[in-house]
Amino acid sequence: MNRVQKIFLDSGTADAGTSKIRPFWRGQLFLFDKQKAPAYSSAQGYRLLAILVFLEGIVRPLFKEVAKVWQIAARPWWPLLEMGLLTALACWLVVNFAKVRLSELGLYSWSHWSQIEKFYLLQIVPITVVVFSFTAAIEMKTLWAHNSLGRIVLFVFVPQVIWGFYQEFLYRGLLQTELVRRWGSVIGILTSNLIFTFGPLHAYHFSAARRDPSHLWIFAGIFSIGLYFAVLYRRSGNLWIVGPLHGLGDFFIDGLGLASRMAR
């Protein structure tokens, strides 16, 4: 078990075998450079968890209710405003309430990225776009030909990318970082991913499952995809990689439907 954990979860310095692999390929094997352990205190860690509970348990549901009351939930600009406010508030609370640097949660500047991280991002983003575009070729062809492409990018694509980033910031950056710090890689990753899968973020799928029990299988997909992002974040320590990847997935899985309706 310790050997498996060291290979797949805990980054380490390159040994004689991995050091022979070029940085261009090491990212694809999740062989990122060793990341520094968070330096914040246990009290600050509790504040990070409190921020997640506050945002997911109070603020985001409140935003939805306000949007219903003010009848702006269906406005095309609302998702962009909602996601922008939530993400900005999350970052502000981390810095000013938890007193934790964003760089400790994986948001550090490009100049501090390793070659492996840079190569991996420049590879994985085009691969993701090509694969998803191929599976949704008809929808993508229709969107490219539509004269409201700029509006779709601004009000559908951008909010979906921010939404994916927001999820990764909370559930990987805050929750996983703190649980791994307290309990270690295996328990920390699994626990945070279970909360990501079955917690408030995706709890609405239980309602759909009441009408169609087979809908419960969606949780297997959510857990699997979440585990990929969890391990990638644990290995790389870089939220600028996992956040946009999650956002791209959200756009192709959920956003294309919204974009198609907007293009009609």
Domain assignment present for residue 228? The answer is: yes
Domain assignment present for residue 3? The answer is: no
Indicate whether 12 pLDDT > 60. Answer: no
Domain assignment present for residue 114? The answer is: yes
Indicate whether 54 pLDDT > 90. Answer: yes
Indicate whether 41 pLDDT > 90. Answer: yes
Mean pLDDT (whole number) for 236-252: 96
Domain assignment present for residue 8? The answer is: no
Dihedral, 186, 192, 193, 199 alpha carbons, nearest 10: 150
In the prediction, which pLDDT does 116 show? Answer: 95
Domain assignment present for residue 212? The answer is: yes
In the prediction, which pLDDT does 259 show? Answer: 74
- At position 239, the amino acid (one-letter code) is L
Domain assignment present for residue 98? The answer is: no
Kindly calculate the radius of gyration of the chain based on its CA atoms and give it in whole angstroms: 19
Most confident region among 16-30, 48-62, 131-145, 205-219 by mean pLDDT: 48-62
Percent of the chain with pLDDT over 90: 70
117 contacts 233 by C-beta, under 8 angstroms = no
Question: Which one, of 219, 253, 250, 246, lies nearest residue 230 by Cα?
Answer: 246
- Classify 80 as helix, strand or coil: helix
**pLDDT bucket at 168, cuts 50 / 70 / 90:** very high
Q: Residue 212: which domain range?
A: 104-263
Domain assignment present for residue 74? The answer is: no
Question: Which one, of 55, 83, 81, 114, lies nearest residue 241 by Cα?
Answer: 114
- Model confidence over 127-141: pLDDT tens digits? 999 999 998 888 887
- At position 202, the amino acid (one-letter code) is H
Domain assignment present for residue 43? The answer is: no
Q: Which helix (H) or strand (E) holds 100?
A: none
Both structure tokens of 182: 């307290």
Mean of the per-residue pLDDT values of the chain: 90
Q: How many domains does the chain have?
A: 1
In the prediction, which pLDDT does 185 show? Answer: 95
- Model confidence over 13-36: pLDDT tens digits? 445 455 678 888 999 999 998 888
